[in-house]
Each structure stands twice: as structure tokens, then as C-alpha cells.
Amino acid sequence: METVDLARLQFALTAGAHFLFVALTLGLATLVAVLQTRATLTRSPIHLRMTRFWGQLYIINYAMGIVTGLVMEFQFGMSWSGLTHFAGNVFGAALAIETLVAFFIESTFLGLWIFGWDRLNRWAHLALIWVVTLTAYASAFWILIANGFLQNPVGHEVVNGVLQLNDFGALTANPASLVAFGHVLSGAMVVGGFFMAGVSAYHLRRRTREQEFFRKSLRIGLALALPATLVAGAFGGLGFATMQPTKAAAWSGSAQELAQAQADMVARFGPGDYLPPVELVRTAGVVMMLLFVVMLVFSAVSFLLMLFRPAVRGLRIWHWLLTAMIPVPFVTMLAGWVFREVGRQPWVVYGLLTTQDAMSHVTPLEMRVSLIAFCAVFGLLIVVNYWLLARHARRGPDAVALGSRPAETPAPALTF
């Protein structure tokens, strides 16, 4: 493989791995905030226990996501210095805002929420988790503002061979960003909903003594999964209207459309191959669409089943299928991400900067060593994260440490 292909593979693997953490973080943050709101308004002990149980799983995933996000951003300087030099003045602004939101506001308030149990007023503590949730949305928004600029560059001008931001409003109102934000956010709700329903079904299938706890959790997860799937499909449909002509031609697969798209790009930019990897784009798109249909049908059927108490209590085959569905939304989101990003090739900034020109001056050996190191680190983080999630999910709410009060040590007896 050429150096540029190795660099693309490295960024694809690391960004894709980070995306998995982000999707579950957004979904679980929303669910935990809703659960704590119910617990705070009604003083319901079971909803408070649910907040702590699902909140602990959220914290585990969030911590690992922060680490992968830090490592991923190193690559902009290591492998893609041409991109940062040419377009950093524009899309770098969005990344800078995202960093401030994620690492200063979100992380600070999350720390206050974690250590504020039984120390803060219940309304102040509830406000903390909503700040965390809303700043998580804001973080995703600014990331997609940056990504949307790469997909559809707007609000800029070329000054001395580099891009300068001249219309911040156009940058933030970019249709390629706003539609993607709605699609990703609703997709994250699908991930969170299926995760909560699947873990709950696992415990119900094992006839746990926490029947009421996990019946309520299962219903909440499915109540989110079905509408979120519909909303994600709606935003996905809108996203097809913002596709680049070459990606649209690759998706259709028509030889005539592919030839026309290639000819149009040659007329605009001169000789070159401007078509993305057609088979990869189409395959990713087909996988995304098929799994969307599977999730839509399954969530609709499950929504009906959850209305019947006997099914929620003892329909073991349904419980097993719900647990098996946990990875499906993750795979769907990854397929959609591949469809979106690979379809932009050979451009990093569409129509302005090619992937080849965005590369740093690194040797093939340096790139191979970097690829191996990044893959090893991210592979380890993924294994550790999902091992911890599975371990704490299996142990149930009785083993939750979040918000628990330390046992009081008895005072030593006085001796004379």
C-alpha cells in the first residue's frame, strides 16, 4: 500500500473506533438524564437506582471515549499537516470550540455529577447531568460542523494559497453539517435505546430478582429506540440531497452516471480520477440501509410486545434476540460513516484539496510503525471498554459504586 493509503487506513480505524464510543455516550447520557429527572420529580427509589446503574455504564464508556478522542486528534499534525495548513483556519475553529466544550465544560460538570451524589441539592445535581448531556450534543454539533465543511466547503475565501473564514454564519448553517448532526444524534439514541433494552433483556432472561428494575429499563430503551430509528431514517433521507455528485453516482452504480460525473470533474479540475471506490461506497450504503430496515421492523415488533406484561416477563426468545441486537446499531453507524467519508474521495476538502496533497511528509516505514502502534492502542482500549461494560452490566444494580456511600468505620473503643 502507498503511504497515503496507510494514512487513510489509520485515520479510518481510529476515527471509526472513537465513533463507537461517541454513539453510546450520547445515547446513554440522554437516558441517564431522563431517568434522573423522573427520580428527582417523583422521588422514586427505583428510578434513582436505575440512574446510578446506567450512569455507571455511561461513565465507563465516556472515559474510554475521551482517551480515543485525544489520540485521534494527534493525527492531524502527524499525518495530515497539509490539511491543517490549507484549511485549519476554517475547520480548526469548529474543532477548537468542540475541545473547549468537551474538555472544559462537559468534563468539569461530569466530575461534579460523579462526586456530587448526596452532597449537592437534588435539583442542582439534576442540573449537572443535563449540562453534561447538552454539552455532549454541542460537542457532536461542532465536530459535524468541521466535518460538514470538508464535505461541502462554505464560508471561506482563499488568501495567499490558504483558506480563511469569512462567513461564520454560513459555516454553522451548512446543510451538510446540520442534516448529519440530526442523523448522528438520532442514530446515537438508537444505539442507547437498543443497548438499554438488550442489557435489560439479558437480566430478564436469567430470571434475575431485579424484575421490576429491568422491566422498566427495557420499556424505556424500546420507547426511545423506535422513534429514534424513524427520525434517523428521516434525516438519512435528507442526507441524500446533500451528497456530492460523484458519491451519488457511486451509490447509483449506473455506468452512465459514473462517466458523466467523472467528465464533469475533469472539466472543472483537469485530468485525474475523481471517482470514489465505487464498490466500497455501495456496499457500505447497502449494509446501512438493510440494517436500518432490520432495526425498524424489530423495534416496531418489540414496541408492541412490551405492552404485554407476560411477554416482558417470560418471552425468552425475544429476550435473547434483544440482547443479540445490541451490536447492530453500532455496525449500522459504522457503515453509514464509511459511506459518508469514503464517498468524498479523492478529496479531503471537497473540490479544494485532495487526500494526496493533504498528507504530511512521512516515510512508508514511519507510517507503518504509526499504524501498528495506533491499532494496538485502540484495539486494547476497545477490548478493555467492552469488557468493563459487560462485566458491570452483568453484575447488576446491587454492585454499582456510583453514588454509593462509603461504609462508616466504627470509632475505636477507648481503653484506659
pLDDT at 218: 93
pLDDT at 413: 46
Cβ(139)–Cβ(58) under 8 Å?
no
The answer on pLDDT for 395 being more than 60 is: yes
In sequence order, which residues have a C-beta less than 8 Å from that of residue 298 and are 6 or more positions away?
Answer: 321, 325
**13-22, 67-76, 294-303: least confident range:** 67-76
pLDDT at 321: 93
Distance CA 193, CA 312 (A): 16
Backbone Cα Rg of the chain: 24
pLDDT at 407: 46
The 10s digit of each residue's pLDDT in 149-174 is 999 999 898 888 899 999 899 999 99
The answer on pLDDT for 344 being more than 60 is: yes
pLDDT at 415: 44
Task: Look over the chain and give the mean of its residue pLDDT values, rounded to a whole number.
Answer: 88
Task: Return the domain boundaries, the chain.
Answer: 3-244+276-399
User: Helix, strand or coil for residue 157?
Assistant: strand
The 10s digit of each residue's pLDDT in 175-189 is 999 999 999 999 999
> What confidence category does residue 353 fall into, taking pLDDT thresholds of 50, 70 and 90?
very high
The full DSSP string for 29-86 is: HHHHHHHHHHHHHH--HHHHHHHHHHHHHHHHHHHHHHHHHHHHHHHHHHT-HHHHHH
Give the angle 32-34-36 at the CA atoms, nearest 5°. Answer: 70
The answer on pLDDT for 266 being more than 90 is: yes
User: Helix, strand or coil for residue 160?
Assistant: coil
The answer on pLDDT for 416 being more than 60 is: no
DSSP 297: H
Q: Give the mean model confidence (pLDDT) for residues 275-299.
A: 94
The 10s digit of each residue's pLDDT in 124-149 is 999 999 999 999 999 999 999 999 99
DSSP 192: H
> What confidence category does residue 374 fall into, taking pLDDT thresholds of 50, 70 and 90?
confident
From the list 185, 300, 283, 172, the residue with the least C-alpha distance to 234 is: 185
The answer on pLDDT for 115 being more than 60 is: yes
The answer on pLDDT for 1 being more than 70 is: no
pLDDT at 209: 76
The grid coordinates of residue 384 equal 478493555
pLDDT at 180: 94
- Does this model's pTM top 0.85? My answer is yes
From the list 281, 287, 292, the residue with the least C-alpha distance to 248 is: 281
